[in-house]
Structure formats: C-alpha cells, structure tokens
Amino acid sequence: MSNPFYAATTRWLLAVGWTFGAGLTLAQPAPGAGTPVPLNDLSAFVNPASNWHIVGSVRADLAKTNTLLTDKGTGVLVSLPSDKKNAKAGDLTTQFQHSDADIELDFMLAKGANSGVYLQGRYEIQLADSWEVKTPSSGDNGSIYQRWDDKRPAGQNGYEGHPARQNASRAPGLWQHLKASFQAPRFNAQGQKTENAKLLNVELNGVLIHDNVELSGPTRGAISNDEKTTGPLVLQGDHGAVAFRNIRYIAYDKPRPELVNLTFAVYKGKYEKEPEYDKTAPESEGPTTVLSSSVSRIPNEMLIRYKGTLRVAEPGEYRFRLGVPGGAGSLKIGDQMVVPLVGWVGNGTGKVTLPKGDIPVELFYSKFMDWVQPALGLSIAGPGVREFVISDATTSGGEEVDPILVDASGGNTILRSFMDVPGESTRGDIRSQGKRTRVTHAISVGSPDNVHYTYDMDKGALVQVWRGQFLDTTPMWHDRGDGSSRPMGMVQRMGTPMLFLAKLPSGQANWATDTTGTGYRPKGYVLDNNDRPTFRYQTYGSSVDDKIRVLEQGQGLQRELTVTNPAGDLYARLASGSTISAMDNNMYLIDGQEYIRIDDLGGAKPTIRESAGGQELIVPVKGKLTYSILF
C-alpha cells in the first residue's frame, strides 16, 4: 500500500542519503552545536522593542489567554505584548545575517498565542497555539505561512501557504522544539533570481513536517518583499506572549569540496580482503566525471577502485559517510585512512582535518553479496558546508520498501505488537540512560482525535502517548519482520516501563521494577460501545480496572483506575522525571514536557519524592483515582 506522506519522506531521506532495506545507508550526521545566540541581554538584536525581555524562567497558566509568568534571570527571551493603549510591540531582528543555514530553537507559547520565525526576515514558519487542532492549516503551528497580495480578489489574497503534514504541537506552556534547514535563493551575476529559496526540511518536536518545499517569494509580514542572498532571523513578537531559548544556527556559506581528475578501474572477483593491484589486471578502466557504481557492468563479485583529487577551498575538519551495499569499501585521503576497511559492513563514517588545496583520494568498493543491487554513495560535510552527496545521487541501491501504515482516523483502533522504547538521557537517572527496552506485550490504541497511546500489559503501565498519525507497522509485517511497530507523531514517552501500582513499606522505598512478589496477573481488556479498551489485571490480591480515554478536543488522555479491595501501602506512580513542579489548579509540570492534572484521588494526596537521581509523583491508592495527562 502506498502513502503520499511516506513517499515524500522517503524522497527526503534519499536526498540526504538514506534508503530502506539492504541498500545504501548514508545517514545525515548529527550537526555540531552551532553558534548560539547569547541571551544574557538583548545586545544580539537590533533596536528591540519594549515587549522583549530577558528572564530566567517562564511558565504559562492554561486558564488564562495570552499570559506567561516569568522569573528574574537570564537565558530565556520572552515577548510580553501589552494590552495597554499606546503600548508598542514589535518583532525582534537578530544582528547576525544568514544565507544557507540550519536554525534550531526551543519556544513556548501562551494559551491562544501566535508568533513566527522569519528566515532571512522573509519566509515565515508559523508558531501558534494549535494544541486542539486536528488538521493543520497554513496558519497553524509549524506551517509555512501564506504569501499575500492585496490586489487579488477578497478571500483570495493569501496563496501558496504550506500546512504542516500533521499536528505535532504541544500544549501551551510546554517547551517545543523547532529545527529548520534553509537554502537561500540563488542569483546570477546580473542579480536575477535563478533559483527559489527552499526549506529542505522542518522538524517540529522531532517530527518531520516539511521537506523540500520551494518558496517562490516572501510570506506575509516579511521585512521586505524583495529577496536577497542574506538576511536576519526575525522573531514575531506582536501577536501574543511567546518565549524562546537555546537559539542556535549553523551557517553554510563556504564552497563545497570538488572531486577532480577522477579515474576508475574495475576488477573481477570476490575480494573480501584488500587486493594486491600489481598482481591483478583490471577488467576495465579509464577517466570519469562521476563517482558511481555504474562504471562497472559486473553486478556481483567485483571491485571498483577510484583515484582522484579532492579540491578543498575551506580548510578544517570534514566528515565523510561511505555507503557500499552488498559488500565493503574504504576511503583514503592523502596519507590518512578516513573510512577504514573494518568488518566489511557495507558502510562507514570518518572525519579528518584537511588543508586548503588539492589532496589525493583513493576509494574502494568491493561487491560480493549477490542479493543486493550494486550502489555507491559518498557524502561530505565540513566547516560552512552542509552535508551533500558527492557521488551519483541517482544511484540509490537496495530495496525501497512500500510502507505499511495503520490509520486510526476512521475509528478507535487497537494493535498488538512489540514496541521499542529508546532511553531518554534528558529525563534524569530515573529514565533509562541510552538503553533500548523492548516491550513484548504492548498494545497501541489509536483514536480518530489523533491522540494515541501504548499500554504495557506486563506491568499495567503507560509506555508512551503521542499526537499525530498512528502507527508504522512496516518493521512488523514487511518481509520476515521483527514484530515491532513505531509511533508516527509527536511522542511523549513515559520512560522505561515500570509497574504502575506497587506496595511501599516506607515513603522512600524503591519502586518495583518487575512483578516479582506482586501476584500480578493480566486479565486482558474489555471494549465499550466505541471500541475503547478498559484493561484488567490482578496485583497484590486486588482487582484493577484501568480505563484510558482521550480528552475532549484532543488535549491528552484521562486515566481512571478502579482498585477493588486495595492492599495496604499501595501506591500509584503517576509520573517520573528530572524535575516535577507543583502548579495551581491541581496541576504538575513534568520536565516542561507534559502536565499531570489531578482529577479525583478519593481524598488521597500526591507526593513528589526523590528517586534514583530524579523525581517521582506518587499517590496512595484508596480504591479509585482519576488523573489526566496533558501534552
């Protein structure tokens, strides 16, 4: 089954070097830290208006529109437009100018707030409180705003907006993350535009929401309707309360290295160790202008040896990724083996510091696995140079897998599979540190409200919640499969799955990590008239009904637990994190990433306690408890 969203994503992955199956594997390298925009004061900006301030922390009140509360300090940039008459509010323009660049930042919106990030001051990525939006428009969070023409007929003034592919937004008052890779417009020597600006990709909260979007001109509200090779970053500040932190950019303004004087030689045979070339005659050889596996007509058991010159205009450290499916390869630059021939795994990475000038290059590709199509890929990234594929980009190699997706838009949907949960080092020691946990009895429940969750039947625990599209089951059902599925939207993970209910002999006793001694027995689930499950299990001699439902307007999930004959000293673990903060209206903020709202605890009182380097929110269980997860 085909899917336009997945197909477009695949095209983007291929553009930066990924393919599916056993083929070419050129992953986009993790970018460097980039250049931070200092937020000790407002000196990094041009003539800031009075609505902009530097503060130490910021938080929202979900009950109040367009309101952010701040504390003194530095590190956070906040716009607080006043509703007073004659008060002036304005956008904020950076001192730095950029051309091609990666821009990355955290932002927080007040309830009902609206803002935007203008690349080069001309092309807006919209920031908006789209928490309750099901299908984004061009005016919603993460979307590319419309262009505007007052001369067009009424109702048709806005055009060429690009809605986000799915709503990957968080709730007001939660920190969100935006990452955009921008390519500036190109001009010839006469100043005529030869190529439109592009957003190569945009991620919102870790979800790809745009790829390779061409921008024919400035969007509405730009600093100017002309286009140039450089421009400032502009933050919109007159449409509502908004905060920013961790603003960084990587400028790509240096010339790319070039491969010149390239020659090839093809050798027939199964080379599983480095051959002795002075004893072997090539099947074919000659000059070439492109690095590609297509210079060989032999599909298998052959080796291609390239020699040439890498012309480097900008000295510095360069990163290389070599993809050679169905065999192995190596890359030598000057007298340094940059990608060594180790393990014959078919791909490799390396980095080397290069001077300016011409440097000899030697590359090998040995193909000896007959079930994989030959392909050769090499990418380079360096100082002021965005990663690019210097080989024949049209040769992808390998098998392109048509995805197998499960859509929950038509009704509540339940799928049982394995679910892999990555470790999250940002959540303190209480979260797994880099370990990947496989939940073997996971049940994922999807809703037409685009809010979904995964439940661990082995522990009675919520594994993760997410907003957006439902599941990618390709790993489970393609070919032999591995039994697992993957969430497709903005995922909020609950950490390594642990028991939701446990007996604590004291308030500081460690939480139980498994069912030993608990008498835990899963009893499956029952469905209501709308196919929504209520999970059932026994533990510590008590019977438990665990009902999880989507809140109105997709704000999150409400969980209602009913425990028959609860054992003494029985507690529920509502949340864990590095920092848990109590707020007004029975709310708790977990690491700035989610809210826990206490709805009904049957008279019990929750406690925040220290545990394993982090914090836990626990509560005694008296028989029934109800709380909500807002994210």
pLDDT tier, 115 (very low <50, low <70, confident <90, very high otherwise): very high
For residue 138, what are the contacts with CB-CB under 8 A and spacing of at least 6? 126, 144, 145, 146, 158, 161, 162, 163
Q: For the purposes of burial, counting CB atoms within 10 Å of the CB of 608, is it exposed (0-12), middle (13-18) or buried (19 or more)?
A: middle
**H/E segment holding residue 134:** none
- pLDDT 10s digits, 369-385: 888 888 899 999 999 99
Mean pLDDT (whole number) for 132-138: 94
Kindly tell me if the per-residue pLDDT of 394 is higher than 60.
Answer: no
Phi, psi of 189 (to 5 degrees): -65, -25
Residue 482 has pLDDT above 80, yes or no: yes
What per-residue confidence (pLDDT) applies to 158?
84
Helix (H, G, I), strand (E, B) or coil at 120: coil
pLDDT of residue 371: 81
Question: pLDDT value at position 432?
Answer: 35
Show the beta-strand stretches assigned E in 313-450.
316-323, 327-333, 336-339, 347-354, 357-367, 377-382, 385-389, 405-406, 413-421, 437-446
Q: What confidence tens digit (pLDDT) does each residue in 210-267 have?
A: 999 999 999 999 999 999 999 999 999 988 999 999 999 999 999 999 999 999 999 9
| pLDDT, mean over the chain | 88
Question: How high is the pLDDT of residue 344?
Answer: 57
| pLDDT band for position 425 (cuts 50, 70, 90) | very low
For residue 5, the surrounding DSSP H or E stretch is helix 4-16
- Would the pLDDT of 395 be above 70? no
Q: Worst-scoring range by mean pLDDT, 100-109, 125-134, 272-281, 525-534?
A: 272-281
Please state which of the ranges 194-198, 417-421, 429-433 shows the lowest mean pLDDT: 429-433
Percentage above 70 pLDDT, the chain:
89
pLDDT for the residue 435: 66
Q: What is the pLDDT of residue 352?
A: 96
Phi-psi region of 613 (alpha: psi -120 to 50; beta: other; left: phi over 0): left
**Mean pLDDT score, 569-577:** 93
Does the pLDDT at position 393 exceed 70? no
Give, for 6, the enclosing helix (H) or strand (E): helix 4-16
Residue 280 — pLDDT band, cuts 50, 70, 90? Answer: confident
Q: What is the mean pLDDT of residues 488-509?
A: 88
